[in-house]
Amino acid sequence: MELLVLLSSGIGQTLGITFGALLLGSVLAVPLAALRRSELPAASTAAKILIEGIRGVPPIVWLLLIYFALGETDLKLTTFQASVIGLGIVSTAYIAEIYRSGLDAIPGGQFEAADALGMPFGAKFFKVITPQAATVVIPPLATFAIGLLKDSALASVIGAQDITFRAFQEAQANLNGLTVFMWAALLYILLSIPIAALARYTGSRLTRKVAA
């Protein structure tokens, strides 16, 4: 029980890194997905190269790159901030592809109907396209978020004080690694369950409307 309390002190950083990176990725992925779907071949090719480039590098390498690269500058980043940025970059590439698949799933007739009604871009995008794309995007986005929660353990390598970091410290101090990491594993499971449940709930609510 004491162990659980000790490990729980890392929950804040684990969740902070996960949701920070997810938020950063969700926002930056919007322009990247737009670029990827651009009619200009140069823009879509550039976006594709960027996405493949980001995805081609292991997340842990990204974390180390950001950590050391920013260490060279005058920016004083905490390990937490470096982790959010590193995993945020990785998330951007994956989420951009998720957005793109969501937009690709919408029939061209939906864009045409909105255009034929003279709807301005904002209304077309937010009232017609996004609500429909959301049903396609949410399930893979939730899967990605759960994956990211687990990948956030990598941040312990650069010293972010998350669950895994706490477990490492405890295991090294008291040589009780097996027990400690079993508790850590349980903690990760407990954290991922609500994310999955929330995603299922939102997804089914949205789908029920459209597929009714």
CB of 61 to another protein, least distance (A): 37
**Which x/- pattern, by CB under 8 A, does the window 131-150 give for another protein?**
xx--x---------------
* CA-based nearest residue to 88, from 32, 157, 165, 9: 32
Percent helix, strand, coil in the chain, to 5, is 85, 0, 15
**Smallest gap from residue 120 Cβ to another protein (A):** 6
Cα–Cα dist 33/93, whole Å:
9
Query: What's the angle, vertex CA 90, arms to CA 170 and CA 22, rounded to 5?
Result: 75
123 lines the binding site for another protein (CB under 8 A): yes
Stretch that binds another protein, among 3-11, 109-117, 145-153, 157-165 (CB under 8 A): 109-117
Give me the least distance between CB of 164 and another protein, in Å please. 41
Residue 119 interacting with another protein (CB under 8 A):
yes
Size of the site for another protein (CB under 8 A): 28
Pairwise CA distance, residues 72 & 136, whole Å: 41
| Residues contacting residue 19 through CB under 8 Å, at least 6 positions apart | none
Indicate whether 41 belongs to the interface with another protein (CB under 8 A): no
Rule CB under 8 A: is residue 5 a binding residue for another protein?
A: no
202: left (phi over 0), alpha (psi -120 to 50) or beta: alpha
Choose between 56 and 120: whose C-beta lies nearer to another protein.
120
Binding site for another protein (CB under 8 A): 39, 107-121, 123-124, 127-128, 131-132, 135, 206, 209-212
